Amino acid sequence: MTLLDIWVLDAPILRQDTTLVSGVTDSHRRLIDDMFETMYAARGIGLAATQVGRLERICVVDVDKARYALVNPEIVTSDGEQTGEEGCLSIPEIYGDVTRAQRVMVRALDRDGKPFEIDATDLLARCLQHEIDHLHGRLFIDYLSLVKRQAAMKKWRKLRGKDKSLTRTIEPRDAAEHHDRDEEL
């Protein structure tokens, strides 16, 4: 498996819509494996293909022991409202409160191309909405008020300083560290 570089804010690919996967192949399964590995190394709870420079409609999530690879995910129903803090591996160290549906029903294909549905609430529902947004070129900062978005952008530019690189390289984590995290979850 391979750790993939993550594209950061200002990379045009983060604003692109993705392409439906017409059949799940070994190449997609390799991408899924690499995305899980990259997500764990980066300590994220979700990761979308555009974040690793790919335009296939694929994302992965791992929230409260619930681990899913989703191909062509779509929200079929949504209910209620929740407001909570979000972050994004493509906008490191920037956080903001986002209002999302409290509950979503998501339909997708699994890594074998078999359809399945997730009935998600709370953080899992939030994460799925965040990832599906990525697959359509949307980022959580798009939901902030103008004032909060401008403050977030100012902080982002300040944190970046002279560094204008559009990717970040994720450092591997050792097996013990990974095991510790598994115990926590």
CA pair distance 170, 167, nearest whole angstrom: 10
Burial (CB < 10 A; 0-12, 13-18, 19+), residue 145, is exposed
- Pick the catalytic residue from 131, 171, 183, 184: 131
CB of 68 to ligand GNR, least distance (A): 13
Query: Where along the sequence are the contacts to ligand GNR (CB under 6 A)?
Result: 44-48, 51, 86-90, 126-127, 130-131, 134
Dump the DSSP string for 62-84.
EETTEEEEEEEEEEEEEES-EEE
**Candidates 19-27, 80-88, 92-100, 111-119; binding stretch for Ni ion (CB under 5 A):** 80-88
**Candidates 16-24, 81-89, 150-158, 161-169; binding stretch for Ni ion (CB under 5 A):** 81-89
Residues of the chain by 3-state class (helix, strand, coil), percent to 5: 35, 30, 35
Binding of Ni ion at residue 88 (CB under 5 A)? yes
CB of 69 to ligand GNR, least distance (A): 14
Answer yes or no: 56 catalytic: no
Interface residues toward Ni ion, by CB under 5 A: 88
Catalytic positions, written as ranges: 131
